[in-house]
A = this chain, B = another copy of it.
Amino acid sequence: MHNYLETLPFWKELTDDQKQLLSTHIIERSFQKGDILNHGSQECTGLEMMVKGQARIFMMSPQGNEITLYRLLEQDVCVLSAACMIHSLTFTVSMEFETDAVILLIPKQILQIVSLQNCRVKDFTMELVADRFSSVMNTMHDVMFSSNEHRLAQALLTQMQLQEATSLQLTHDTLAHELGTAREVVSRLLKQFQRDGLLQQSRGCITILDEQRLSRL
């Protein structure tokens, strides 16, 4: 586990005591595919690092509609779990594990001690917040100004990268939650993509036939 701590950009700036404090209090947590965590101003656990696995961070309406904001991949740090460090962060988002996953948690109290002693730890959190802020702004830009056709094509290309395959295990529901749109919209567009020879649909599976044209949509 200590190897992972050493990948944190502020690790080298810490004193031996601070390193010791982090090392002894770090917690390893396992999650299963499909598990969901809520992050918001109420629940503050600490700083979570994704050691193994993949999760999507999404926003949900009271009616249960969803939109994916960004993804956490291996070695990514979840800044929202550290919302306690930032008083002004007042929104709530959810995290769904898309694979079985292992997370390392630096508990809130420990992080606060080290953070008060060392500016670099705060800098790190700040850069993370700014980075996620940028991701969300990009998502918002897409939602506002890009066609559903373009966004669906992009979502399919992202899934090709994540699954490292051209035959994707994906339901229309999953894609609708990804884009924050209705399943009917996704189904209609996928049919159109199939007619245009861009992909082939079969039960629970979408096979990409023409990545090039898809990326130009």
**Total contacting residues, chain A, CB less than 8 A:** 36
Contact of A127 with B by CB under 8 A = yes
User: Which of B67, B133, B144 meets A133, CB within 8 Å?
Assistant: B133
In angstroms, Cα B59 to Cα A138, docked, is 10
Cβ-neighbour of A90 out of B119, B134, B139 (below 8 A): B134
Interface SS of chain A: helix, strand, loop or mixed?
A: helix
Q: How many protomers of this protein does the assembly include?
A: 2
Which residues from B are CB-within-8-Å of A123?
Answer: 122
Interface assignment of A54: CB less than 8 Å from any CB of chain B: no
Partner among B65, B131, B137 whose Cβ is within 8 Å of the Cβ of A59: B137
Q: Is the CB of A61 within 8 A of B141?
A: yes
A122, B119: Cβ atoms closer than 8 Å: yes
Q: A122-B122, A143-B144 are in contact. Are A127 and B59 (CB under 8 A)?
A: no
Q: Does A12 contact B (CB under 8 A)?
A: no
> Are B88 and A138 touching (Cβ within 8 A)?
no
Does any Cβ of B come within 8 Å of A89's Cβ? yes
Closest residue of B by beta carbon distance from A41: B134
Q: Does A180 contact B (CB under 8 A)?
A: yes
A67 to chain B, nearest CB (A): 5
